[in-house]
A and B are shown apart, each in its own frame.
Chain A
Amino acid sequence: EVQLLESGGGLVQPGGSLRLSCAASGFTLRSYAMNWVRQAPGKGLEWVSSISNSGGSGGNTYYADSVKGRFTISRDNSKNTLYLQMNSLRAEDTALYYCAKHWASTVTTHFDYWGQGTLVTVSS
């Protein structure tokens, strides 16, 4: 059974940093592209970032304009874990952050499994 378990969320001050993790089980992470999607309280879904699977190189990365230059997506295939390093956090980054699995190794595929999310709150 595919499972995605996010962790690392919490309360952080504006300008601060957090690193989110997504532990994958039930499938081999290295074989699939992965991504992060967020949802602000009471709002819709916003794609944040994706990483493809490009053999052992770690993959090509893609970012929403709203987080480019501040967030970094990465993966550790040996640990079956996806990460999102978030720097220079702003109040508007407050959201539930979901980890989601692409259907295949490339990012131009639908998201077939989602975790339950980890909440990030940016406030002083």
Chain B
Amino acid sequence: EIVLTQSPGTLSLSPGERATLSCRASQSVSSSYLAWYQQKPGQAPRLLIYGASSRATGIPDRFSGSGSGTDFTLTISRLEPEDFAVYYCQHYGSSPFTFGPGTKVDIK
């Protein structure tokens, strides 16, 4: 089973700042089968990034993903008020399709 670790647990930033979120896997994630999801309170998760770096339909270009192997990053170039949320990484290359514990981005 691939275990995903996300850091930091909480990121306190101001609107307009850059956010860098990390996701580390316990073993290599094959073919970059790594996704990022955003979840706001009381809402279902929303797909942001798949294949480690491809933006999902309708996702603004301030969101970008990078990485391969065991180290992946989600970057939000300039935080908008609606970006304050919890972000989860997930691998989907093989079962079990585990999620990371999440990084909460909150307003400083």
Contact = CB atoms under 8 A, between A and B. Distances in A.
Interface in B39-63: 39, 43-47, 50-51, 56
Interface stretch (B11-19, B77-85, B96-104): B96-104
A110 B98 CA distance: 12
Interface stretch (A22-30, A40-48, A75-83): A40-48
Contact of A98 (B44, B92, B100): B44
Interface in A82-124: 98, 103, 107-117
B44 A116 contact: yes
B99 A110 contact: no
Given A44-B88, A45-B88, A98-B45, A111 B35 contact: yes
B35 A110 contact: yes
A114 B44 contact: yes
B28 interface: no
Contacts, number: 64
B50 A103 contact: yes
> What secondary structure prevails in chain B residues at the interface with A?
loop
B13 to A, nearest CB: 21
A46 B45 contact: no
A115 B43 CA distance: 9
Interface residues of B, number: 26
Contact of A109 (B88, B92, B100): B92
B26 interface: no
Contacts of B43: 116
Nearest to A45: B99
B95 A62 contact: yes
8 contacts: A44-B99, A45-B37, A45-B90, A45-B99, A45-B102, A47-B96, A65-B96, A113-B47
Interface of A: 35, 37, 44-47, 50, 62, 64-65, 98, 103, 107-117
Given A37-B99, A45-B102, A98-B44, 14 more contacts: A44-B101, A45-B90, A47-B96, A47-B97, A47-B99, A103-B50, A107-B95, A108-B92, A110-B35, A110-B47, A111-B45, A111-B47, A112-B50, A114-B45
